[in-house]
């Protein structure tokens, strides 16, 4: 049978089974008539009418399709449940993260030293020397290292025995003031020598101002911003903690910030040898040679002699840089006579004056 009609079935599964089972010729005639409308239906009816086509085959097909359908349904259900679970977990995690952000933002505060953000106008106006002319941490550390090595290898007793004895006139005895001096306990921060004032001051501390940045979240979402508020207040900081941070700034060549902090130390302890000596170096690097000499002299006048040799050397260099050759030459001569660590360098400078 041939037909040019497009495929459009007129027979159902029930029609085919009824055709096989019924003995009513009228019913069979109706089904056959319906099958003639379509080549596929006609072929199907003919095929299923054959004795070899047992109803069992249909049952097997039914079972196969039902099994496949069940798998499909279960797979789809599992996929949907998985998607829903992922969405719920993601939203829960986002909620937890937002809660953590809120708690962190509410409890967070950033403490900043006033000298970290505000440099006194007088210091800010200072001009630095070219880097090649500055007294760098490398030079200082090298000098300290060599001096420590020399001290270990020197027999102090022999040096004292060979010192020339100078007769002191009676007039000098009456007018001379004997200065109490002490070689204090030392510590090293960033490889630089300091007097350890913890051994000589009762709970040394520095009073300074801090900027406390606090805030609460302005918007909780993918980006959380803090509306910051500032509050200035006086705070006492342990001396060793304050000076350690200051030495770190100095070691990085931040002369202005370091000088600001050394001045804060000197407001509490005017005779502090650490602050005076390293402030003097900052002044030198900032071309403030007069202030440098003053700071080095304060260091020398202290009862602690730990920095005397270095302070005299850099005071002489400051005088020379300031154009005061005569005063510089006198101090260089004193250094040469003392025959200390800087004696050889002083001789070279004096020879060229």
Task: Convert the pLDDT of each residue in 198-254 to its tens digit.
Answer: 999 988 899 888 876 665 444 444 444 434 446 778 889 999 999 999 999 999 999
Give me the mean pLDDT over the 122-131 stretch: 94
Pairing state between β 186-189 and 192-195: antiparallel
Using DSSP bridges, classify how beta strands 205-217 and 226-238 pair: parallel, antiparallel or unpaired: antiparallel
The pLDDT score that the predictor gives to residue 117 is 80
The Cα–Cα gap between 65 and 84 comes to 28
Kindly give, in sequence order, each residue whose CB lies less than 8 Å from that of residue 130, ignoring residues fewer than 6 positions away.
none
The continuous run of DSSP H or E covering 206 comes out as strand 205-217
Write down the CATH number for the domain with range 116-198+239-351. Answer: 1.25.40.10
Better pLDDT: 232 or 339? 339
Q: Please tell me the predicted confidence (pLDDT) of residue 83.
A: 76
Lowest mean pLDDT among 93-107, 250-264, 290-304: 93-107
pLDDT score at 150: 73
Q: What is the DSSP letter of 178?
A: P
- 165-195 pLDDT per residue, tens: 444 444 444 444 556 788 999 999 999 999 9
Q: For 151-176, what is the HEC assignment?
A: HHHCCHHHHHHCCCCCCCCHHHHHHC
**What is the per-residue pLDDT for 269?**
95
pLDDT reported for residue 242: 95
**pLDDT for the residue 118:** 83
Could you report the per-residue pLDDT of 318-337, keeping only the tens digit for each? Answer: 999 999 999 999 999 999 99
The structure's pTM equals 0.61
Domain boundaries, the chain: 13-53, 57-107, 116-198+239-351
pLDDT tens per residue across span 43-98: 666 665 665 554 545 555 555 545 555 566 666 767 766 777 677 666 666 555 55
Q: Sign of dihedral through CA atoms 252, 291, 265, 178?
A: positive
């Amino acid at each position: 049978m041939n037909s040019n009609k497009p495929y459009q079935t007129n027979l159902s599964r029930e029609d085919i089974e009824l055709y096989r089972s019924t003995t009513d010729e009228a019913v069979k005639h109706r089904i056959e008539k319906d099958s003639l409308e379509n080549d596929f239906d006609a072929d199907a009816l003919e095929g299923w009418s054959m004795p070899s086509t047992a109803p069992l085959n249909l049952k097997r097909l039914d079972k196969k399709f039902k099994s496949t359908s069940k798998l499909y349904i279960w797979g789809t259900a599992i996929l949907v449940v998985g998607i829903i679970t992922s969405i719920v977990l993601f939203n829960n995690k986002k909620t937890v993260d937002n809660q953590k952000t809120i708690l962190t933002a509410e409890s967070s505060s950033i403490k900043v030293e006033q000298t970290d953000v505000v440099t006194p106008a007088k210091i800010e106006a200072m001009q630095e020397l070219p880097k090649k002319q500055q007294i760098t941490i490398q030079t200082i550390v090298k000098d300290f290292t060599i001096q420590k090595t020399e001290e270990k290898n020197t027999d102090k007793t022999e040096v004292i025995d060979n010192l020339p004895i100078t007769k002191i006139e009676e007039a000098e005895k009456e007018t001379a003031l004997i200065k109490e001096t002490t070689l204090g306990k030392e510590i090293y921060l960033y490889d630089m020598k300091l007097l350890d004032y913890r051994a000589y001051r009762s709970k040394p501390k520095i009073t300074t101002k801090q900027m406390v940045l606090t805030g609460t979240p302005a918007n909780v979402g993918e980006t959380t911003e803090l509306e910051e508020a500032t509050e200035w207040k006086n705070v006492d900081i342990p001396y060793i903690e304050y000076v350690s941070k200051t030495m770190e700034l100095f070691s990085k060549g931040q002369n202005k910030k370091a000088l600001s902090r050394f001045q804060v130390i000197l407001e509490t302890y005017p005779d502090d040898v650490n602050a005076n000596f390293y402030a003097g170096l900052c002044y030198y690097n900032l071309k403030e040679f007069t202030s440098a000499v003053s700071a080095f002299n304060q260091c020398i006048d202290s009862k602690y002699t730990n920095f005397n040799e270095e302070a005299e050397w850099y005071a002489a260099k400051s005088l020379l840089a300031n154009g005061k050759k005569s005063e510089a030459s006198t101090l260089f001569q004193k250094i040469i006579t003392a025959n200390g660590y800087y004696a050889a360098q002083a001789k070279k400078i004096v020879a060229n004056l």
